[in-house]
Structure 1
Amino acid sequence: MRRRLVRALARPLVLAAVASALSAGSALAATSDRVVIGGFPVEASDSPWTVALSSRNRFGGTRAGQFCGGVAVGRSTVLTAAHCLSEEVLGEPLERVHDLKVIAGRTNLLSAGDGQEVAVRAAWVNPAYDGASNVGDFAVLILARPLPVGSVIGMAAAGDPAYAAGGEAAVYGWGDTSGVGDYPNSLRAARVRVLPDALCEDAYPGGADGGYDASSMLCAGETVGGRDACQGDSGGPLVARGRLIGLVSWGIGCGRAGKPGVYVRVSDLMRTLGWTRV
């Protein structure tokens, strides 16, 4: 029996600072098991909103402690996958991870002189996240200091044409490039297509392989496989028409035909948080 896989290398933690920032987020408005399969190198300057989540205490310094991805939707606000902050991934409760940081503006994780590492001041994990079904797989990080101007990407609200099936999109991350544990130090991207909900429902009808929920998820890839997110990419961005439409969440394997990557649908995330377009 194949195991449904999230794409990362909790108990919800709700902090007052996050609640305040979430309220501000609506005013602002007025992304497993896969680095990128079938991808190509990109510079951080080409996608400055793509960030790496890091904890050297938990994941060592070989790749600067990177274990998941994230995306800046505000200068001090980063989205990632809820499962990235789970005890299963971190190895201990989130509140005990005292060195959680976001690495921004750095193409190569080992180029310590490039970009910046910013401490996470507060974290909010969606309390409705269901680890069994992967519904609601998102979290919000509030940074200790703002990222540079120009580091933010806008989110696509419901009805945005960026969600149209067949449209071109790109997924970014530092995850496994082969599906067998080949982790790059430098950022990569893969071109994929947004796939029809009906195809995704057929691919993941429920049961051991997981179920696709069109109201809160979308899937992307190629029907023949070959281009996908992979382990270590969880929480990273899926971008179409210059706007954020998804966060890397889960799937079966990496780049398999008939098993596309599944992403958090950003418009549903926005609805849940009460955010409008940014």
Structure 2
Amino acid sequence: MRALPVLLLALAVSAQGRELLQISSQILNGRDAERGRFNYVASLRFPYAKDTGVKLNEFVCQGVLIRPDVLLTSAWCLVNSGMWPIVKLASYETNGGPAEVRRVTATVWHSGYTGTIDDVQDDVALMLLDKPSSVTPVQIAAASRDPLARNDKLTIAGWGLTQDDPLATSKHLMYASQFLLKQQRCAEKWSSGDNPVQNGGWDTNKILCGAYAGHNKALCYGDAGSPLLRRGATAAGDLIVGIGSQSACKGDSFLGGSIYSNVAHYYGWIQNGIRILKSSTVQGYGAWKVARKADYPPKPTCKGIGHRCMESNRQECCSGSCFIWACWPSA
């Protein structure tokens, strides 16, 4: 079982049995966010017209501003939103409303991300914006500190589904509370049974899981790339400790809660990835894979990098190859 982005539900039946959700961006049973409180949370919009199952400028994923010109997101969002999506910051409404709009010009993702159904580790990526944002970036958890006390009340924020119903989309930003669980408990919940959701990785601290006992609150379809935050008194004091990766869109059952990439674990990867993004001469290597929009000009006769494709018809992509539902660079 695997979490599916809500916008791809129509494709799910034919997509090699990917039935659970690798989330795109929604909050199950969340509350209305205070307008302007989470301006650093970015809405990622699909940048192409006439692709299967999605419209131009449709909301498909999330990211978080960690530098004036850099977003932190999940590697899955590169599948769901394309390599270089339209970005809305300081936005509140899911669609419409005032916002600061930017375009993505380059991406870096973790080479360990394979997108396999029962083990999505290294689900992290970075996006470079075409110009800096005026929004204050959020702080990221550093590798040298441990902000993850298990009794901390943390916050998730996102747009999209407010319940396990593809039609229950939110009109604006929502938030909810989560508490981190011990890694052993996470392993018991998510890597057991005949169809484990997250098969391993709990002993590496690459991933975290959270829930809110007795409350049906969690990430849901559409929440990939959404932040797990330790909130400060104001937005300037917020700290991002996790990036939304997987969920069963349930809050209080055995599979209740959600799975996050541990930002502190990837602190060094993030810093090096930012340097790669900002250097036009540095190519991806080791744990870093890079794609720059200028290196992949559009071709009118076939689908280029970032467009939707079907794994059953890999020849759709005129450059790269079909990875899950998107044309990705081969390198």
TM-score with structure 1 setting the length: 0.79
Q: Of residues 243, 250, 256 in structure 2, which corresponds to 1:247?
A: 243
Other-structure match for 2:315: none
How far, CA to CA, are the matches of 1:127 and 1:85 in structure 2? 13
**1:108-150 CA distances to partner (integer Å, 9 max, x unpaired)?**
13334x1211111111222111211110001110000111042
Does residue 216 of the first structure (1) align with residue 209 of the second (2)?
Answer: no
Q: Helix, strand or coil: the match of 2:147? A: helix
- Aligned residue for 2:30? 39
Q: Is residue 2:107 matched to residue 1:123?
A: yes
* 1:82 equivalent among 75, 82, 104: 75
2:61 maps to which residue?
A: 68
Q: Residue 253 of structure 2 aligns with which residue?
A: 257
Structure 2 residue aligned with 1:53:
44
Matches within 5 A, 1:110-259: 110-112=95-97, 114-132=98-116, 133-150=119-136, 152-158=137-143, 160-181=145-166, 182-205=168-191, 208-210=195-197, 211-214=199-202, 215-241=205-231, 242-259=238-255
* Alignment check: 8 A CA contact 2:159 2:223 kept: yes
Q: Distance in 1 between matches of 2:45 and 2:261?
A: 21
Contact 1:121 1:143 in 2 (8 A): yes
Distance 1:149 1:225, change over 3 A: closer
> Alignment partner of 1:103: what SS?
strand
Q: Distance in 1 between matches of 2:33 and 2:26?
A: 13
- Give the Cα–Cα distance (whole angstroms) in 1 for the partners of residues 126 and 35 of structure 2: 21
Q: Which amino acid aligns with 2:59?
A: Q
- C-alpha deviation, 1:274, in angstroms: 4.3
Is the helix fraction higher in 1 or 2? 1
Q: In the alignment, which residue of structure 2 is the partner of 1:5?
A: 3
Change (3 A) 1:156 1:232: same
CA distance in structure 2 between the partners assigned to 1:68 and 1:128 by the alignment: 21
* RMSD after superposition: 2.3
- Stretches of structure 1 lacking an aligned partner (at least 5 in a row): 10-31
What displacement does 1:7 show? 5.1
Query: Is 1:273 the counterpart of 2:270 in the alignment?
Result: yes
Structure 1 position 233, deviation (Å): 1.1
Gaps of 5+ in 2: 8-22, 232-237, 274-331
Supply the distance in 2 between the matched residues of 1:34 and 1:110 (Cα, whole angstroms).
14
Structure whose alpha-carbon radius of gyration is higher: 2
Worse-superposed segment, 210-219 or 182-191: 210-219
Q: 1:38 to 1:161 in 2, by over 3 A?
A: farther
Q: How many residues align?
A: 240
Amino acid at match of 1:52: S
Mapped to 2, the partners of 1:250 and 1:35 lie a distance apart of: 12
User: Sequence identity, in percent?
Assistant: 20
**Superposed displacement of residue 33, structure 1:** 6.3
| TM-aligned CA deviation for residue 165 of structure 1 | 1.1
Provide Cα deviations, 1:195-222, integer angstroms capped at 9, x if missing partner: 2112111101256222252320011122
Per the normalisation by structure 2, the TM-score is 0.67
Specify the alignment match of 1:105 in structure 2: 90
Say if 1:6 and 1:234, in contact at 8 Å, map to a contact too: no
8 Å Cα contact 1:33-1:251 kept in structure 2: no
1:268 partner SS? coil
Tell me the distance in 2 between the aligned counterparts of 1:275 and 1:47: 26
What CA distance in whole angstroms lies between the structure 2 residues aligned with 1:179 and 1:198? 27
